[in-house]
Structure 1
Amino acid sequence: MHICFITHEYPKKNFPHGGIGTFIQTIGKAYVAKGCKVSVVGINVYTKVYEEEDDHGVHIYRLKPRKIKGLTWFLNYKHINQQLLKLHVESPIDVIETPELGLVFLKKIKPIKYIIRLHGGHHFFAEAEERDIDRWKGFQEKRSFKKADAFVAVSNYVKTHTSKYLSYNNKKISVIKSPIDLDVFKPIPEIKVSDDTILFAGTICEKKGIKQLILAMKTVNASYPNLKLDIYGRDWFFKDGTSYVEYLKEKIIPELKEFSKNIIFKGPVPYIELATKYAAARICVFPSLMETQGLVAPEAMAMKKVVVFSNLGPGPETIEHKKTGLLCNPYDVNNIAENILWALENPKKCLEIEGQANEFVYQAFNTGSIVNKNIDFYKSIL
């Protein structure tokens, strides 16, 4: 079986990337191990030139961007279509998979089947970010959905929530979680835990709840003045180009007054290195306002960490409160602080939670079973 992903985000060494890129890298290598041929096609957002790369059998084609004002989107999609046709002639593609918007300008090639994996599209996140639907992006997403032959949702929540805005057009849809690389995210007993460290990881933006977490630290630090919040992740920028990190530093962190020094921005790190940061943290906190699934929570859980996650969206699918982790109201600063303080004050109960969290993730997010479910789904539509 030849599976081809369309994405610009496939990880490149020494460059930051998003969760979709990590997902494709993890599952792509696993497909190769199962005997599948895996290709990845996208525009090169890293070095702006044409590049080919082989990553443990996953062949990546990063296409040189074509930029003409007003026509950039058309030219880049044309470039992608040409590359797909070339690949298909050389080695027939069975399945092409994209996120929500990915099929809008792709020319369908028979008999390839086209799948959209719901990672969270424009309609899905518009509500969470309290913004209007952009007419152009909304049109593209609807058109993309009409062209799909089937859908995969990474959580029950993203499946049901997306259906409020977009139709699956009576096409087949299955809920299959994204896998966790359990060879990377596993307990590392040789790394000493810092009792004074809380960890946050993810893109530093409004929807990840980082602002509320920082404000919650004021209450936490009142009882634990030496406790630090280490923040790992890439910056996000407003439409005017303003840095969200700078906004937090200038407008939010000063509210902590004497505890401002306890908020530390560490920047993005490779996910293999991130595992060592999880290992060294006492508690991991991810109070997202909206997620489709959220991989950072189960990654940390796999490493036997107490995780405070959002009680919204897919949170309850990932964590059973005070059994495999803690769930907070991400809009309630006091509730975030209460959950962190509970974890700090109940170390024996937290040991039980850590073990149960590890067991849950190994059952629900292991790559082997998830890969088999995906391959069986692909076969069912071919």
Structure 2
Amino acid sequence: MKKIKPAIWFPAIKTNTGTDKFTEQLVSALNQRGLRAEITWLPHHAEYLPWLVPVPPQPDWANIAHINTWLHPRFYPKNISLVATLHHCVQDKFFLPYKTVTQKIYHKFWITKIEKHCLKTADLVTTDSQYTAQCIKDIFGNDYAHVIYIGIDSKTFHPNELLRPFDKNKPFKLLFVGTNSIRKGFDLLPEIMQKLGEDFQLFYTSNAEQYEPLPKNMIQLPPQKTTQDLANTYRSMNALIFPSRLEGFGLVVAEAMASGLPVVIANSSALTELVTHCETGFLCEKDNISDFIQTIRSLKENPELCREVGKKARNIATTKFSIEEMVNQYIDHYTKLVNMEK
């Protein structure tokens, strides 16, 4: 019997965050594989005022709808399979210290209710890490979440030619990509850079006015307007520092690894799934400034170690975290759903 070909509709709320990027990347990759996949963007207020947004017509060509778990049931499709992705579990108890009062109320009394309904309704639940899958099980009692790591475009994010060792007599260039939030560990960076001194430079993408005065070796980058801009920035650096205290995956870490950079990250949450310590990256004790400093200094003194770790990181990123692997897994699940191979 001939298998039915998946055709996937993505009704999605436009948030201008990484979830948009995930959806756009997946749809583009599915199209390149010859599958029909389209996005219907809903305005941001559809998240918290869904009754003020018209329900978009369900396309007659689709046999699967793929949604984010925050999407209100008002916008769920009818009579086709439903796939739901949970990117970051905001109910995680370790996330509480980094929330505002408003966020705590919003997540508890609005988002949690929507996600509970979604997880019960969906035919398939996916998430980005084993860490988040465990959160889903602990909080919602759902132990059937499939882990599909976010895919990295290794053609855009790639190393400099041959991964040549850097000149240890020049300043060691560190990169931080992300917001200046306490959850991301940005508050640790000024002290780290102050103690590292003038032989090290940190280039960062966020605004850091509330942390001023900053050490002179911390330099704010111009806006990274395109993915290619960011990829070029990775290639101009010697290592990534990412002391984040809580991540549902760690996209910037995977991008840096694909770019051939050694990554120095916190031993926390989903970040531990991305690297093998001292082989494909370096795990430092969370909040331990001395541990980060010691690791970074040892990298500057050993350019060959940087090169070898960066090379292994690239190999992992192009297999375990490749866009091809992510799409292969989604296509496999889509195909099983539409052909009732439960």
Q: Distance in 2 between matches of 1:308 and 1:28?
A: 32
The correspondence of residues 180-199 of structure 1 with structure 2, limited to 5 A, is 180-189=152-161, 195-199=171-175
What is the CA deviation profile of residues 334-370 of structure 1, one whole-angstrom value per residue up to 9, with x for unaligned ones?
2222222222222222221111111111121222232
Q: Select the residue among 293, 296, 307 that pairs with 1:351.
A: 307
1:155 equivalenced with 2:133 (yes/no): no
**SS of residue in 1 equivalent to 2:25:** helix
**SS of residue in 2 equivalent to 1:314:** helix
**SS of residue in 1 equivalent to 2:159:** coil
User: 1:99 touches 1:117 (CA, 8 Å); kept in 2?
Assistant: yes
**Alpha carbon RMSD of aligned pairs, Å?**
2.6
Shift of the 337–148 alpha-carbon distance from structure 1 to 2, 3 Å rule, reads: same
Q: Distance in 2 between matches of 1:9 and 1:205?
A: 22
Number of positions where the alignment pairs a residue of Structure 1 with one of Structure 2: 322
Amino acid at match of 1:227: F
Unaligned ranges ≥5, structure 2? 1-5
Unaligned ranges ≥5, structure 1? 11-16, 46-64, 234-244
User: 1:214 touches 1:263 (CA, 8 Å); kept in 2?
Assistant: no
How far has the Cα of 1:280 moved from its partner? 0.2
How far has the Cα of 1:137 moved from its partner? 2.6
Amino acid at match of 1:179: G
Structure with larger RCO (C-alpha < 8 A, sep 6+):
2
Tell me which residue corresponds to 2:226. Answer: 270
**SS of residue in 1 equivalent to 2:307:** helix
User: 2:11 touches 2:42 (CA, 8 Å); kept in 1?
Assistant: no
TM-score by length of 1: 0.76
Shift of the 210–265 alpha-carbon distance from structure 1 to 2, 3 Å rule, reads: farther
Shift of the 315–122 alpha-carbon distance from structure 1 to 2, 3 Å rule, reads: closer
User: 1:116 touches 1:145 (CA, 8 Å); kept in 2?
Assistant: yes
TM-score by length of 2: 0.85
Tell me which residue corresponds to 2:3. Answer: none
Amino acid at match of 1:72: L
Shift of the 107–27 alpha-carbon distance from structure 1 to 2, 3 Å rule, reads: closer
Shift of the 354–147 alpha-carbon distance from structure 1 to 2, 3 Å rule, reads: same
User: 1:208 touches 1:288 (CA, 8 Å); kept in 2?
Assistant: yes
**SS of residue in 1 equivalent to 2:212:** helix
Q: Distance in 1 between matches of 2:276 and 2:313?
A: 9
How far has the Cα of 1:261 moved from its partner? 5.7
Amino acid at match of 2:184: K
How far has the Cα of 1:153 moved from its partner? 1.7
Tell me which residue corresponds to 1:58. Answer: none
Amino acid at match of 1:115: V
How far has the Cα of 1:297 moved from its partner? 0.9
What is the CA deviation profile of residues 27-77 of structure 1, one whole-angstrom value per residue up to 9, with x for unaligned ones?
2111001111111122346xxxxxxxxxxxxxxxxxxx789xxx833212x
User: 1:328 touches 1:336 (CA, 8 Å); kept in 2?
Assistant: yes
Q: Distance in 2 between matches of 1:364 and 1:20?
A: 20
User: 2:131 touches 2:269 (CA, 8 Å); kept in 1?
Assistant: yes
The correspondence of residues 188-267 of structure 1 with structure 2, limited to 5 A, is 188-189=160-161, 195-221=171-197, 225-233=198-206, 245=207, 248-250=208-210, 252-254=211-213, 256=214, 259-260=215-216, 262-267=218-223
Tell me which residue corresponds to 2:68. Answer: 99
Tell me which residue corresponds to 2:38. Answer: 39
